[in-house]
Amino acid sequence: MKTSILLASIVATLSGNAPEPAADGKLRIICFGAHPDDCEIQVGGVAAMWAAKGHHVKLVSVTNGDIGHWREAGGPLARRRKAEAERADQILGVTCEVLDIHDGELLPTVENRRLITRLIREWKADIVMSPRPNDYHPDHRYTGVLVQDAAYMVTVPFFCPDVPYLKSNPVFLYYPDSFQKPNPFQPDVAVAIDSVIQKKLDALDGMESQFYEGGANGSAELVPNDPAKQQERHRQVRGFFEKRYQDQAQRFRSKLAEYYGHEKAGSIKYAEAFEICEYGRHPDQNELRKLFPFFGE
Amino acid sequence: MKTSILLASIVATLSGNAPEPAADGKLRIICFGAHPDDCEIQVGGVAAMWAAKGHHVKLVSVTNGDIGHWREAGGPLARRRKAEAERADQILGVTCEVLDIHDGELLPTVENRRLITRLIREWKADIVMSPRPNDYHPDHRYTGVLVQDAAYMVTVPFFCPDVPYLKSNPVFLYYPDSFQKPNPFQPDVAVAIDSVIQKKLDALDGMESQFYEGGANGSAELVPNDPAKQQERHRQVRGFFEKRYQDQAQRFRSKLAEYYGHEKAGSIKYAEAFEICEYGRHPDQNELRKLFPFFGE
Amino acid sequence: MKTSILLASIVATLSGNAPEPAADGKLRIICFGAHPDDCEIQVGGVAAMWAAKGHHVKLVSVTNGDIGHWREAGGPLARRRKAEAERADQILGVTCEVLDIHDGELLPTVENRRLITRLIREWKADIVMSPRPNDYHPDHRYTGVLVQDAAYMVTVPFFCPDVPYLKSNPVFLYYPDSFQKPNPFQPDVAVAIDSVIQKKLDALDGMESQFYEGGANGSAELVPNDPAKQQERHRQVRGFFEKRYQDQAQRFRSKLAEYYGHEKAGSIKYAEAFEICEYGRHPDQNELRKLFPFFGE
Amino acid sequence: MKTSILLASIVATLSGNAPEPAADGKLRIICFGAHPDDCEIQVGGVAAMWAAKGHHVKLVSVTNGDIGHWREAGGPLARRRKAEAERADQILGVTCEVLDIHDGELLPTVENRRLITRLIREWKADIVMSPRPNDYHPDHRYTGVLVQDAAYMVTVPFFCPDVPYLKSNPVFLYYPDSFQKPNPFQPDVAVAIDSVIQKKLDALDGMESQFYEGGANGSAELVPNDPAKQQERHRQVRGFFEKRYQDQAQRFRSKLAEYYGHEKAGSIKYAEAFEICEYGRHPDQNELRKLFPFFGE
Amino acid sequence: MKTSILLASIVATLSGNAPEPAADGKLRIICFGAHPDDCEIQVGGVAAMWAAKGHHVKLVSVTNGDIGHWREAGGPLARRRKAEAERADQILGVTCEVLDIHDGELLPTVENRRLITRLIREWKADIVMSPRPNDYHPDHRYTGVLVQDAAYMVTVPFFCPDVPYLKSNPVFLYYPDSFQKPNPFQPDVAVAIDSVIQKKLDALDGMESQFYEGGANGSAELVPNDPAKQQERHRQVRGFFEKRYQDQAQRFRSKLAEYYGHEKAGSIKYAEAFEICEYGRHPDQNELRKLFPFFGE
Amino acid sequence: MKTSILLASIVATLSGNAPEPAADGKLRIICFGAHPDDCEIQVGGVAAMWAAKGHHVKLVSVTNGDIGHWREAGGPLARRRKAEAERADQILGVTCEVLDIHDGELLPTVENRRLITRLIREWKADIVMSPRPNDYHPDHRYTGVLVQDAAYMVTVPFFCPDVPYLKSNPVFLYYPDSFQKPNPFQPDVAVAIDSVIQKKLDALDGMESQFYEGGANGSAELVPNDPAKQQERHRQVRGFFEKRYQDQAQRFRSKLAEYYGHEKAGSIKYAEAFEICEYGRHPDQNELRKLFPFFGE
């Protein structure tokens, strides 16, 4: 009964009905990563697939990535990485935003919570994505905490009263990682990205400061002058990521099978996967199939 | 051997003897919730039972609830919610305190740690209750963190030297929630609240801004003008909570059986349950039976 | 292939090769504790064993311990506890540092993250140790968080550009504790400290403000005037710790067996054990045997 | 010589040439007030005059005014006050922005410094206005500090590298106040607002929550039900402000004379006046006459 | 006209009428000092005179003074200094409060602003006193800033809605100091304390940790064992302060003359003096004579 | 009488005797600037003169200058500017320290207060220099505030108990600036730097990122490729600074006359000047002549 659902906000917002579809009938997805490349790595495939169907996807880097390189740093690097993210997101067909917060210094303050809350609301998000709060980089962890801290608050009218609140708590999803403690990533949905793998590799290959040049842990030897070696280096980058999504297809094969059937799942080469965050709306598989409208293809 | 117990504070304070009983032989319980209604929801039944036996119970809302409504907010709402909490706590027979911290903005600062520490000490608490640090609302989580951060510190004489320290670390208990990650709520004690269920429903029903009107996720349609519909709405509120504590009796049936015996446990209709926090004193079931003197009835 | 390892920093830093040995061929270990005694309790044995072989060990207390006593506090206590730590660390043959941060007030700020990062870098650490982020004292927990937050960042050149970065992420290890939630301590390596147990007991026995006098939870009755009783008290302190490390040998017996073989492990009387933190480099047992060069003896 | 001017930034930015005029040849002015009404009170007249000539004026309230009333508060008040400011600014012909920062809680943090810096840059301001850092309300003082802290920084390319920096430090001006310590307000320019006084009174009269109803220090007696009394109350509000700007004309008569000549100045009935902040560009009277293109009329 | 006064809060609160007298017809004064002795030094004489007439005076130390000694520190010193302040204030006949904030670490946070606001409101103060924001000790300066930041806010109903606001902004007064920049202390009222000078010296002499022992800049040589030297030391302390208030009578002689007439002023030996803070209500000399009802005697 | 001096710390520390000379009979001076060049600009001449006489001078940049350039920023710029400061300070013969705090983000936190306090203590400073708290750049202002906040605290034993306190409050001096509000710079001592002007120009000329290249407000046109133009640019830099110190000699001529006599003062070409901060020890001219042992030459 609907009224009793409204009694206690947690019930209303965690188990409630999905929101009315947007005016244009399209889904609205916003994804948070700590640095300008994290979203692209984690959800670049599905993002491109949503975009191709006309759904609205925004990738947000919560920091500006201004220490993410072995040779450059500060504002000039921040600008370079933003430009790379914009180029990559153009390839993927999605909207790009890079917040100007120092890389390596993100904290779960109330100011940042408001920032995230406003971005989710302004995007009128049906789906919100983020890293889990346990990951190897403090910015990843605190991005996870901040998005958790914005979950539910996006539905509270007088938190950030300057931005219209969401009537329905979005579905919040985590990206996969390999950490086991205190608990491992558990996929709730897995999606084949075979149809867009080249597009995703193009997007990532173009983020040169981070991948081709090796990012914070790179070095001069990664940046050859010889054009043949340069080409070889590009092939390495693409190969590295190609293998990563192959490994993910392997790792999440049984979850793929739930959505695609065993046979089809067996032939999937590249995959992305996501885990439901308990603090957003709790979708059942039925709703997930609507949010990820790719399984019947 | 007592002296060796005193060697390492963790041993002394986590496994140590229970404190001397208070001068009046009564228990002293302090419960923290994030908003003016959280304590009442989670421990209103047992609180009323303790109070009825002359034990001293205090319910503290760590924020003032000033965004917890769909139409009102700010100071006027804070005052309304405080008044509602005071009325509810009067029904339950317990002491009420609402801290003036903005709803939705609670952080685990050292200042707030001191605030919680002083409240626990001033109440000379035997038992301290709080939400777990994993729950859907950031204020709930940080209330959990703050109470954890005050555990043990309440026994350190020169932390907050202005308030007499506790010679014995209280037993810290968590309220139940339904979240599974990183680990689910595990009940250590469950109590039948059948004898006070009407009193608890009266208390909750009177917190109109939060339940009758639907709180932050409510709406105008929940507040009818028609007296018949108003009565109906009140019935809904009571029915919602009645079901909640029935569900809890069902969920924690086996724990009830440990304390009441299987037969009696089978007939319990409404229950509250709590989990021991590892950072407070570790009571055995024997001590828990003294702290919850309800099982022999 | 090395270049592909360099592609993604997490791969590079979490699974990468161990660093080149230091110029003198010796290991470099830095251990963080919340208070001036935590490192000594947790790793005093192995520290002394490393030191005896010429390896470089530093024990850092992240707070100054200035409320860790029942009678004294503030700057005078901070100085006393630092002097005690220095004396203890001299007995163990290791370097001592006590940071001047108020006891009971440690927070995971970016400033403190930098402080920890610099200490790890300046020590050119191969191994970094800390408590887990779940422990009974907030300072312990936040020490754990701070060291986690410095892990990986120690390898980022332009985080703290004033201090040379580490080319290789160290192995980060946790001390044992008895807490079960959200997940219990799981030993990855256990070491017999029988050969240095008396040295360790000497070191701890000399930290009188904390153990002999009972620290924050002590009392005047622990500090007798009668020389015979004083000697008895010293025996109690030593006995308490002797038992603690016996218990650890018992608790971690199967892990000892992995490293020493069953027979030898069975005769080990005193032990220390450590768990690998997932955010540092992931050593295999082979590397662990090099980092803990004690098993063939 | 231009190059030597570039040597030391302070010389370059404090005494440098005025910037190139904007593409449309119009001036760009941004004014900061602490609450939604402060800008309108202080510069509403000149703002309307600039706007009438096609110059670009933006009025920014740094807090949302959410405690600025005797009966209402929180988000609902914030929304009401924003709506009132928007209506008033529409009357004045200027752009309106109200930041969502709690009234009474503004602090000169680096986050807020960035916020102000970005607003100034995005507006490509020639003139920036604010209260002095000594005024009776803490939000006024800290608005003054924040704007001071943004002065000069707006010209530093890699402070907020996400927003194009200003090549020339704007002229920063203070609003008048009556405080004498540590030093009194000293007018550097005074402007007759006789031509727009009715427009300004209309704008202020429409900010009912603050003036008609009395704001934070008002009371129910100010809000009569009797339409005749309501009209009377509106007349009071207008009369109060009419007198205020008359008093200012009187107070700054000699400064008016500098700009208008003695005779014309003598007949000016209403005025606004401003003091040059030393931390912005230092305009001479010649430049001021260009920035305030009203004196030849 | 009263209604127009209500229009703009600054007019209402800075020039408004004095509040209605308290129910018992007595004045209510609250004085803030940075450390447990600052109020006693600055206003101990007038405080005793008010108290003797039945007026209500409270002296608040904003920090606990826990580093204000050359030998002791921390919680034990905080307790000692609080006890000394209580004893001194008992001699003066006034109420004592010492806040538990670390000495040397006071900052003008919003939390502290609320704390000061609540204390002023709860005391229903007619007069509030503090150091100026320019003084030699950072705690003095920030005490001055905090009290300034609470001025006016005490009249805003929904700042700290948990404590009834003041209908009238109190008169805020500064203590004298000798600093010249940016502007020197200017007395607005000066009061003879000849009638209570012995009581004041008794109060100060009893604050042994600070004066007899020399406080933070004292040394062992100030604390003789020889009873004759001890007596001598007490005489020194009293003599030092006696001279201080003689010097003040001399320094503020002309202001004394304004209130007492030239002849009487000439014979005054000991004085205290105060400057009106511009951010509180602006009393005229007439109101000052009511607030300091000592001049007709 | 010395003991009475010890009674009140302010008297003791603000008017007290100068400290015992250091073991080597030399003066110890520490100077704080906001960026790596501020100290060199303000006190490079006198610093070199002290150094030439064997006195110990340390120049500290409180931020790392990592946004102080129009093309570069972040860690790489921080390293470049530190290297430049070290080279300049080597030319001057003084010790260099650059703190790793982000340029443009300095705040007067307690952590930074401790940092400054420790540096002053560790240098055992007789003289401490800083900008005034009113200057055009927020980092300059907050450097001024931080040094003020450390004044006196350097003498309090249990503030930063880990570093030996100073028995005597140093003399604190401000650098000159041209700002008039709230009060202008007033020289208390002025020193001819004619003997070291070339050395100072060499030092400044070598700080190429800041002067030759124009710092934050520079541009590519300042950095010619043509060696002849490069030389010309170097001449401009030197000429700019030569004129600056000539202007200072002119501005402070009358103060120079006080120290050198009118005749000699008239021939001084280049000067530096300083104002006494009221929060440090108050030296008379006699003491100033000892601290600046240059006037008899």
DSSP code of residue C210: T
For residue A190, the cross-strand partners are: A273
- pLDDT at residue B64 above 80? yes
| Whole-number pLDDT of residue B296 | 80
In the three-class reduction of DSSP (H, G, I as helix; E, B as strand; rest coil), residue A115 is classed as helix
- Encoded tokens for B3: 């002296």
DSSP code of residue B16: P
Determine, for residues E217 and F278 on separate chains, whether the beta-carbon distance falls below 8 Å: no
Per-residue pLDDT of chain D (297 residues; tens, 9 = 90+): 333 344 544 555 676 667 777 889 999 999 999 999 999 999 999 999 999 999 999 999 999 999 999 999 999 999 999 999 999 999 999 999 999 999 999 999 999 999 999 999 999 999 999 999 999 999 999 999 999 999 999 999 999 999 999 999 999 999 999 999 999 999 999 999 999 999 999 999 999 999 999 999 999 999 999 999 999 999 999 999 999 999 999 999 999 999 999 999 999 999 999 999 999 999 999 999 999 999 986
Q: Give yes or no for a contact between F61 and F30, defined as CB atoms under 8 angstroms apart.
A: no
- Encoded tokens for F167: 């028995």
Query: Which residue in the set D12, D149, D158 is minimally distant from F138, CB to CB?
Result: D149
Q: Give yes or no for a contact between B182 and A182, defined as CB atoms under 8 angstroms apart.
A: yes
Write phi, then psi, for E124 (nearest 5 degrees).
50, 50
| Whole-number pLDDT of residue D262 | 96
In the three-class reduction of DSSP (H, G, I as helix; E, B as strand; rest coil), residue D83 is classed as helix
- pLDDT at residue B21 above 80? no
How many beta-carbon pairs under 8 angstroms link D with E?
Answer: 79
- pLDDT at residue C277 above 90? yes
How many beta-carbon pairs under 8 angstroms link C with E?
Answer: 27
* D95-98/D56-61 β-pairing: parallel
Determine, for residues A162 and D111 on separate chains, whether the beta-carbon distance falls below 8 Å: no
| Whole-number pLDDT of residue E7 | 52
Write phi, then psi, for E79 (nearest 5 degrees).
-65, -40
ipTM: 0.94
- Encoded tokens for A244: 């990563």
- Encoded tokens for F157: 């034993």
Stretch F91-110: mean pLDDT: 98
How many Cα neighbours within 13 Å face the side chain of B73? Answer: 25
D with E: touching (≥3 Cβ pairs within 8 Å): yes
* Tens-place pLDDT, residues F210-233: 999 999 999 999 999 999 999 999
Average pLDDT, chain C: 94
Q: Give yes or no for a contact between C34 and C6, defined as CB atoms under 8 angstroms apart.
A: no
Helical H segments across chain B, by residue range: 2-7, 9-15, 38-52, 74-92, 110-122, 138-150, 197-205, 227-251, 253-260, 262-266, 285-291
Determine, for residues F72 and A71 on separate chains, whether the beta-carbon distance falls below 8 Å: no
Asked whether the bond before F182 is cis by omega within 30 degrees of 0, the reply is yes
| Whole-number pLDDT of residue C1 | 30
Q: What is the spatial distance between Cα E271 and Cα E247, in angstroms, rounded to a whole number?
A: 8
- Encoded tokens for D168: 């020339």
- From the list D91, D94, D16, the residue with the least C-alpha distance to D53 is D94
Q: Distance between the two ends of chain A, CA-based, in angstroms?
A: 35
Q: What is the spatial distance between Cα E153 and Cα E115, in angstroms, rounded to a whole number?
A: 12
Query: Which residue in the set E67, E136, E215 is minimally distant from F159, CB to CB?
Result: E67
Interchain contact B74–D (C-beta under 8 A):
yes
Instruction: Tell me which chain C residues have a C-beta less than 8 angstroms from the C-beta of E102.
Output: 102
Q: How far is CA D248 from CA A230, C256, D177, D296, E213, in A?
A: 71, 86, 10, 21, 56
Residue F292 CA from chain centroid, whole number: 14
| Whole-number pLDDT of residue B69 | 98
| Whole-number pLDDT of residue D297 | 65
Interchain contact E231–F (C-beta under 8 A):
no
Q: What is the spatial distance between Cα A125 and Cα A28, in angstroms, rounded to a whole number?
A: 5
| Whole-number pLDDT of residue B180 | 97
Rg (CA), chain C: 19
**Which element (helix H / strand E) includes C30?**
strand C28-33
| Whole-number pLDDT of residue E19 | 72
- pLDDT at residue C64 above 90? yes
In the three-class reduction of DSSP (H, G, I as helix; E, B as strand; rest coil), residue A137 is classed as coil
Q: Give yes or no for a contact between A168 and A155, defined as CB atoms under 8 angstroms apart.
A: yes
Interchain contact D271–E (C-beta under 8 A):
no
Interchain contact C54–E (C-beta under 8 A):
no
Interchain contact D82–A (C-beta under 8 A):
yes
Stretch B228-237: mean pLDDT: 96
* B171-174/B127-130 β-pairing: parallel
User: What are the DSSP calls for C159-207, one per residue?
Assistant: SSTTSPPPSSPPEEEEPP----SS-----SEEEE-GGGHHHHHHHHHT-
- pLDDT at residue C165 above 80? yes
In the three-class reduction of DSSP (H, G, I as helix; E, B as strand; rest coil), residue C129 is classed as strand
Determine, for residues D215 and E113 on separate chains, whether the beta-carbon distance falls below 8 Å: no
Instruction: Tell me which chain E residues have a C-beta less than 8 angstroms from the C-beta of B114.
Output: 100
pTM reported for the whole predicted model: 0.96
* F271-276/F171-174 β-pairing: antiparallel
* Tens-place pLDDT, residues E198-240: 999 999 999 999 999 999 999 999 999 999 999 999 999 999 9
Residue D43 CA from chain centroid, whole number: 5
The list of chain E residues with pLDDT below 50 reads: 1-6, 8-9
CA angle D164, D170, D171 (to 5 degrees): 170
DSSP code of residue F140: H
Q: Give yes or no for a contact between E50 and E27, defined as CB atoms under 8 angstroms apart.
A: yes
Query: Which residue in the set F13, F109, F113 is minimally distant from E217, CB to CB?
Result: F13
Determine, for residues D237 and E7 on separate chains, whether the beta-carbon distance falls below 8 Å: yes
Interchain contact D296–A (C-beta under 8 A):
no
Give the burial string for E256-276 (b: 16+ CB within 10 Å, else e).
bbbbbeeeebeebebbbbbbb
Interchain contact B152–C (C-beta under 8 A):
yes
Q: Give yes or no for a contact between B175 and B98, defined as CB atoms under 8 angstroms apart.
A: no
Interchain contact B233–A (C-beta under 8 A):
yes
- pLDDT at residue B4 above 80? no
B with D: touching (≥3 Cβ pairs within 8 Å): yes
* E189-192/E271-276 β-pairing: antiparallel
Q: How far is CA B48 from CA B24, B57, F1, in A?
A: 19, 8, 68
| Whole-number pLDDT of residue F22 | 79
- pLDDT at residue C210 above 60? yes
Residue A87 CA from chain centroid, whole number: 17
Q: What is the spatial distance between Cα F65 and Cα F53, in angstroms, rounded to a whole number?
A: 30
| Whole-number pLDDT of residue C6 | 44
Q: Closest approach of chain B CAs to the CA of A10, in angstroms?
A: 7
Tabulate helix, strand, coil % of chain C (nearest 5). Answer: 45, 10, 40
Question: Which of D178, D217, D235, D240 is the best substitution to test chain E (most E C-beta atoms within 10 A)?
Answer: D217
- pLDDT at residue A2 above 60? no
Stretch F273-278: mean pLDDT: 98
* Tens-place pLDDT, residues B147-206: 999 999 999 999 999 999 999 999 999 999 999 999 999 999 999 999 999 999 999 999
- Encoded tokens for D233: 């109350």
In the three-class reduction of DSSP (H, G, I as helix; E, B as strand; rest coil), residue B140 is classed as helix
Instruction: Tell me which chain D residues have a C-beta less than 8 angstroms from the C-beta of A75.
Output: 157-158, 161
> In this structure, which amino acid lies at residue D217?
N
